[in-house]
């Protein structure tokens, strides 16, 4: 087997500082009116981390309601097709509601109830976070409103119906491009108006402190389970671990335990796949790490797509969950430190990977997850014979059928 690229670090990987900075990224860049609500949230979140009763209730729900642990599936026919020795899929698509989002929403809605909030709000792009938030709110008896861009509502009409069926109000956002970034802006604006009784359930590892670390805390179960499952099979540490990256919650949930628990010389190559859309040379992509620069967006400092005046640019992806013009601050830090490698994947490559997994293993993935799958042939060639690769299959593709059909894929 050829030598594997192993990023190194001088010291063990650590959490953000007290102000929520991962290196220079993160922080709290918000109006003064929001600061008390964030301080209240940070204090409540810290208390929950030390509360065995909260951990027990959350753990029980993950097991009995979400269906964890999710399987680690050996995709033998897919491995053969991409030229790898072994490919394991972490089956987050089998979570209740069909994606990893429920891990985070359950944690945050439990926290909202603990704080005495009777109402939760959320933003959503692909709709999975909105469905997961509405699901958790229904389970715990809280009111729910989900803000969603009008373009995303068109692309993800099935998830809009599900949210309303679950009792949530879906609030259309027609500002800007009617996509995820506009929905986040609208949700933050609404939260400022109703912080007294409302909890903002943020869906990705973005936003002002403490959201990035809080989302990571509720998603780290993905990577923790993966390490335990590999050990249970007497498997070695993988050569590479891959996940798609929009805001970055599923990826940080997978990567963080590998960074935290393994010394630098034993860590696998960690690879994030971001949306190259119609190509990095076009203006139709969402590759903020490949083509962006550091700036402030939605209350945090990170890489983002922006113009010379610092205004966010429109992001594009065939996937409604990856067309965000920024990325979580921890991912920006990991990029700069060389601890994770981030690769662009075009719409076409993602659709090809979608079809490949569907036809080799009978598993229909979300288009978001298909961006990670698309990197498999390149990684197998780079790593050489005997490569063992783990892919975080972050969601299932039910929601994407119309998009895939429009993209030219279909049955006989």
Residues assigned a catalytic role = 101, 123, 394
d(CA 257, CA 346): 28
Residue 296 CB burial class (10 angstroms; 0-12, 13-18, ≥19): middle
- Counting Cβ atoms within 10 Å, is residue 263 exposed (0-12), middle (13-18) or buried (19+)? exposed
SS3 per-residue string spanning 56-125: HHHHHHHHHHHCCCCCEEECHHHHHHHCCCEEEEEEHHHCCCCECHHHHHHHHHHHHHHCCCCEEEEEEC
Neighbour-count burial for 124-149, b at 16+ CB within 10 Å, e otherwise: bbbbbbbbbbbbbbebeebebbbbbb
277, 318 in Cβ contact below 8 A? yes
Q: Which pair of tokens denotes residue 395?
A: 């969601």
Report the first-to-last Cα separation within the chain, whole angstroms.
40
User: Which residues, 6+ apart, have CB-to-CB distance to 113 below 8 Å?
Assistant: 140, 142
In the sheet with 198-200, reading across from the earlier edge strand, the strands are 169-173, 143-149, 119-124, 198-200
């Amino acid at each position: 087997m050829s030598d594997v690229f192993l990023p190194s670090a001088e010291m063990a990987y650590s959490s953000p500082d007290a102000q929520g900075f991962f290196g220079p990224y993160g922080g709290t860049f918000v109006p003064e009116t929001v600061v008390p609500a964030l301080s209240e949230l940070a204090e409540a979140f810290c208390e929950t981390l030390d509360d065995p009763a909260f951990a027990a209730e959350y753990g029980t729900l993950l097991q009995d309601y979400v269906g964890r642990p999710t399987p680690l599936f050996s995709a033998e026919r897919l491995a053969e097709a991409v030229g790898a020795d072994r490919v394991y899929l972490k089956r987050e698509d089998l979570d209740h509601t069909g994606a990893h989002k429920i891990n985070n929403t359950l944690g945050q809605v439990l926290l909202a109830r603990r704080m005495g909030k009777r109402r939760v709000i959320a933003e959503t792009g692909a709709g999975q976070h909105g469905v997961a938030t509405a699901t958790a709110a229904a389970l715990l008896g809280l009111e729910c409103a989900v803000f969603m861009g009008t373009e995303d509502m068109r692309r993800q009409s099935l998830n809009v119906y599900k949210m309303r069926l679950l009792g949530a109000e879906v609030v259309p956002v027609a500002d800007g491009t009617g996509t995820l970034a506009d929905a986040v802006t609208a949700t933050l604006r609404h939260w400022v108006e109703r912080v007294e009784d409302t909890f903002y359930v943020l869906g990705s590892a973005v936003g002002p402190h403490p959201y990035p670390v809080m989302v990571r805390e509720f998603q780290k179960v993905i990577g923790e389970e993966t390490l335990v499952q590999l050990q249970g099979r007497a498997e070695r540490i993988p050569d590479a671990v891959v996940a798609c990256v929009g805001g970055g919650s599923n990826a940080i949930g997978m990567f963080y335990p590998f960074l935290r628990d393994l010394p630098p010389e034993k860590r696998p190559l960690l690879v994030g796949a971001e949306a190259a859309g119609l190509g990095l040379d076009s203006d139709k992509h969402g590759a903020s790490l490949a083509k962006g620069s550091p700036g402030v967006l939605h209350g945090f400092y990170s890489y983002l797509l922006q113009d010379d005046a610092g205004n966010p640019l429109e992001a594009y992806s065939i996937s409604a969950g990856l067309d965000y013009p920024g990325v979580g601050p921890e991912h920006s830090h990991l990029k700069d430190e060389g601890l994770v490698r981030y690769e662009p994947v075009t719409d076409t490559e993602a659709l090809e990977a979608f079809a490949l997994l569907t036809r080799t293993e009978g598993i229909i993935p979300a288009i978001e997850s298909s961006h990670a799958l698309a990197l498999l042939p390149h990684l197998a060639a780079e790593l050489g014979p005997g490569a063992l690769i783990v892919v975080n299959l972050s969601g299932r593709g039910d929601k994407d059928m119309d998009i895939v059909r429009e993209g030219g894929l279909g049955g006989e």
